[in-house]
Structures are given as structure tokens and as C-alpha cells.
Structure 1
Amino acid sequence: MPRAHSNGLELEYETFGDQADPPLVLVMGLGAQLTVWDTGFCELLAARGFHVVRFDNRDIGLSTYFDDLPAPDLAALIGGDLSTAPYLLSDMSDDTVGLFDALGFAKAHVAGASMGGMIVQQLAIDHPDRLLSVTSIMSTTGDRSVGQATPEAMAALMRPPAATREQNIEESVKASKVTAAPGYPPREDELRAKITANYDRAYHPAGALRQAAAVTASGDRTEGLRKVDLPVSVIHGAGDPLIDVSGAKATAEAISGAELVVLPGMGHDLPQELWPEIVETIVRTTART
């Protein structure tokens, strides 16, 4: 895969579709590599007339790591002491604009999932002139009174790093079942194969911890979102245990004209059965440009 230079970083990326089509950049979530945007999902979007780009955020996958930074203190960050925050979501949104620059995009459509939704929200606040449309998927505003996780889902997300490859795969399968779509449970063989491939591609739990610190330290985006004047859609699963649907509702309420799409049976994942509806919402959003 190619690598783009962005703000002194190297970002691993992959493209789908015709370069002459409008660019659509996909931003993934906490600790998630570009491969979590399934190839089939990207191909569906490309078939609808987009030059699709998926990439590894900083500190994950095959992009630049920040292992020279001290470990963040999540408890202190939650308490308001931001001194150990390695970077913020605004830095990650700047990375995305740097990717635009490296690929020659004056403007692009963006869609982000989970932490990626937070990043594209930050993009809309900080760099509205570089965006054509925004789709925020299974995300929230940063207001701690909305979008809370269930205790089981939070435990699955924040489990300590595994000691071995086999332990990581087993624990990741269990965690994915906790956060998956209740109406569309994943097939275990397919889930295990994807988790194994991602582990073998790149395993970097220290980067995921720093990304979690960035989310915690970045605070509430609600007031910034009130000023956003772009075509925006907010997609969320009605049964999401990791980010409650209240996070999506707050996002849509903050952005004038935003479309809210709540999908029954969807959890904190992108089940293949719902790809057509998710793709259709993204296409509808881009058409409002």
C-alpha cells in the first residue's frame, strides 16, 4: 500500500475507484486499522461514483507511531488534568487534511466511524473549507452526559493488552461479540479470520491507549458543532452498547440541518446486511453538497 506524508507523519492508505471521481475519505475509530473499513464496503462506495480512500490513523496500523511519548494517565485526564495527553483529536483532524494535501484533494467528502466520527466532526469545526460533506457514524459529541457505554462494553474496550497472539485473538473475538450488532450477530469464523489478519498486519496497543487519551482530553465539541454549515448525516445503531444512541441524537441536534438515521439491530460495528442502507445515506449526504 502507498504511504502519504502528512504534517511530518507517514500515513498508510489505500484507494478504490476512479481518481477522477469526487474523493471520499473514510476515517476509522479507536485502535482500528484501515482494514476495519471492509473492502466490500469500500467497493460499494466506489461503485456509486467516489474515489474512496481508507487510511491508518496516527499511532495505529502501518502509520507513524508515537512510542517516544510517555504513557498517558487516563484517570488524570478524566479528572481534568490534561498534562499527559499525547495529542488531541484536532491533531488527528489535521493529519487528515495533510492526507488531502498529499493526495491533491482541494476538498473531500468524509465519513468517520466511532473515534473517526469524532475526528470528522472536528474536521468540520476546524477545516470546513476543505470539506464537501460529513457523515458521522456510531459516534458522539464529547459531552460526557450522552453516548455512554454499558459497563460490559467499556470493560471490553479497556481490557489490558494480551500476553500472546492467541490470547489477543480470543479476547478480541469475545469483545467484538459484546459490542456487535444485536440484530446482526457476526459469524465467529469470519470474525476470527478478520481479527487474526488485523493482528498479523499490525498490533500496537500503546498507540490505541494514546488515541483513547486524545478522545478523553479533547472535550465537548457541541458548541463548535453548532457553527457547522455543511451537509451532515449522523448514523447510529439503536442497540449500540459502546456509544449509546443518545450521542448520535446530541450530534444531530447540535448541527443545523443534520439528518439522523438510527438503524434497528445495529450495534457498534458495520454489519454487511446494513451496508446498502449506510452507503445510501452517505450518497444522499454527498448529493446535498
Structure 2
Amino acid sequence: MPIVDVSPAVSLAYDTFGDPADPPVLLVMGFGAQLIAWHEDFCRALADRGRYVIRYDQRDCGLSTTFDEHPVDIGQFIAAVSAGDLTAALAMAPYRLDDMADDGLNLLTALGIDRAHVVGASMGGMIAQIMAIAHPERVLTLTSMMSSTGESEFGRTTPEAQAALFAPKPADRDGYIAAADSGLLWASRRYGDTAALRDLAAQSYDRAYYPAGTGRQLAAMVLSGSRADALRELRTPTLVIHGLDDTLITPDGGERTAALIPGAKLLLLPDMGHDRPRELWPELVDALAAHTD
């Protein structure tokens, strides 16, 4: 898998699908998830619709650069934020979502791509929003999927989902894979698939087991604040996709995003949670192909 330097401090692992002559679509993954969370069959289906699809590992995840010199304990960080100790919380975080947005745009530059359609999921949706806000000249269209605006009152995580998300994961392979079952808490009620969750966990563990990065990614996400005012000024053609079964970022996060961005289209899917069930790929690919046309 190719790895490219996108700045003096960061190298990103990536791969591509389709013809480089086709319109480029950059897929931006979310919190703690490697590029393989964008299933290769999904990527190929989009590429078959005439798109040049690029997926990549965020910094501190997968095969990309890690920031081991800045350890962040998730429990300590959450405690500092909960106590209102912003100084302590800020001191823990070596980067922000803005830096992660720059990574994605710098990857496009390294690939010789001036402008691209940008599709972000979850935290990746937040990063994609920042790309469009900070560099609208480089973002042909924005798709914000299962994401939110950074406003604390929208897209809140249910207590059960939050407890499962931040519960310590077993370090051994078998335990790590078994723990993936907790993803059913935020998955599609109709199409939630334990076997698929465990398969992705196994692939992720074998490819690059690196739990230390999640604390820094969480800090970047929490400390980046609200994008509401900037989203009101955004003029990039935008599609917002959200699953009505989502308990990790509740649907009002997507509804609020679409309400703020002028002219944004909102697609609410009844049988999608904080996931992309294979059964919904045809609808998702159709929506993305139409939006990036």
C-alpha cells in the first residue's frame, strides 16, 4: 500500500479505485477507524459509476504517522473536559481537526489533484466540513455522513453508546474481535451484522492494532468546537446523509448540519445506524454518484 509524505511531520497510507482521469472522490474516515472501514466493494461500486475513489488512514491510525511522543489517556481527557478544565484538556492535544483536514487536502496535492469531491463519515464528516470551510476552492462537493456541527446540543451520543465506545478494548486478538459486538448498539437495527463487525475488527487488528491514537483523535474532535457560524456561510454544494437508527451521533446532528448549510440536501435513511450496511450500498452509491455528477 502506498504511503506518501503530506507534510514534514505526517505521512499517510492510502489506496485508490478506478480511473485517475475520472472525477476524484476523497473518502474521509472517522474516529479510530482505518481506511478499510470504507469497504473495498463499496469503493469499487462507486468507482464503477465513473469516479476515482481515494481512501486513506488518518494520522494516528492504521499505517499513517503516529504521535507516540504525545500520549493522551482518554479517561483523563474526558475528566478534564467534564470538569471544565480547558487548559488541561488543551495541553493534552497535539493537533486539531483543522490539522487533519490539512492532511487530507495535502494528500490530494501529493496525488496531483487540485479539486475533489469530499465524502466524510462521522469524525470524517467533521473533517470534510472543515476542508470545505477552510478551502472551498478545493472542494467540488461536500458529503457529510453520520456527522454533526460541533455544537454540543446536537448529535449527542446516547449514554449506552458512549459507554461502549469508550470502554477499554481487550489487547488480545480474540478479545478485541469479540468486543466488536458492541457496535450493534449503534448499528442498523434491521441490518446490523455481528459477523461483519467481527470481520472488520479482525482485519483492523491484523493490519495495524494501535489504540493509543484514539485519545489524540478524540481530543482533536472535542476541542475543535462549533462550526455553526462557518457552516452558515458555506456555499459548497452539500449532501447530508444520516441514519435514523444512529445512537452514536443522533440524527439531529445531520438535520442540524443540513439546516445550517445553504441549499444542502438531506437524506435520512430509516434502516441505517452509525454504519453503512451492505444492503443500503445501492442507495448510498446512487446518492453519491448523483451528488458528484
TM-score (norm 2): 0.94
Superposed CA offset, 1:47-95 (max 9, x none): 1111100000000000000011132523324523322222110000000
Report how far residue 191 of structure 1 moved: 2.8
The aligned counterpart of 1:218 is 224
The aligned counterpart of 2:191 is 184
Contact preservation (8 Å) 1:179, 1:267: yes
Superposed CA offset, 1:182-241 (max 9, x none): 12121x333322211111101111101110111000011111111111110000001101
CA distance in 2, matches of 1:191, 1:68: 31
Contact preservation (8 Å) 2:70, 2:92: no
The aligned counterpart of 1:170 is 178
**SS where residue 281 of structure 1 aligns?**
helix
Report how far residue 167 of structure 1 moved: 1.4
**SS where residue 205 of structure 1 aligns?**
coil
Counterpart of 1:177 in structure 2: which amino acid? L
Q: Does residue 1:50 correspond to 2:58, yes or no?
A: no
CA distance in 2, matches of 1:237, 1:151: 18
Counterpart of 1:222 in structure 2: which amino acid? A
Contact preservation (8 Å) 1:231, 1:286: no
Q: Does residue 1:59 correspond to 2:65, yes or no?
A: no
Stretches of structure 1 lacking an aligned partner (at least 5 in a row) = none
CA distance in 1, matches of 2:209, 2:67: 14
1:195 pairs, out of 201, 208, 230, with 201
Superposed CA offset, 1:231-266 (max 9, x none): 100000011010000000110011000000000021
CA distance in 1, matches of 2:197, 2:71: 33
CA distance in 1, matches of 2:93, 2:179: 27
- Within-5 A mapping of 1:79-90: 79=84, 80-81=86-87, 82-90=90-98
Contact preservation (8 Å) 1:238, 1:267: yes
CA distance in 2, matches of 1:184, 1:195: 18
Contact preservation (8 Å) 1:180, 1:266: yes
Counterpart of 2:111 in structure 1: which amino acid? L
**SS where residue 226 of structure 2 aligns?**
coil
The aligned counterpart of 1:30 is 31
Report how far residue 107 of structure 1 moved: 0.4
**SS where residue 83 of structure 1 aligns?**
helix
Contact preservation (8 Å) 1:107, 1:132: yes
The aligned counterpart of 2:258 is 252
- Within-5 A mapping of 1:1-289: 1-8=1-8, 9-71=10-72, 73-78=77-82, 79=84, 80-81=86-87, 82-172=90-180, 174-186=181-193, 188-287=194-293
Structure 1, 160-169 or 203-212: larger mean CA deviation:
160-169
CA distance in 2, matches of 1:232, 1:42: 20
Superposed CA offset, 1:126-157 (max 9, x none): 11111100100000001000101111111111
CA distance in 2, matches of 1:192, 1:242: 19
Structure 1, 189-198 or 225-234: larger mean CA deviation:
189-198
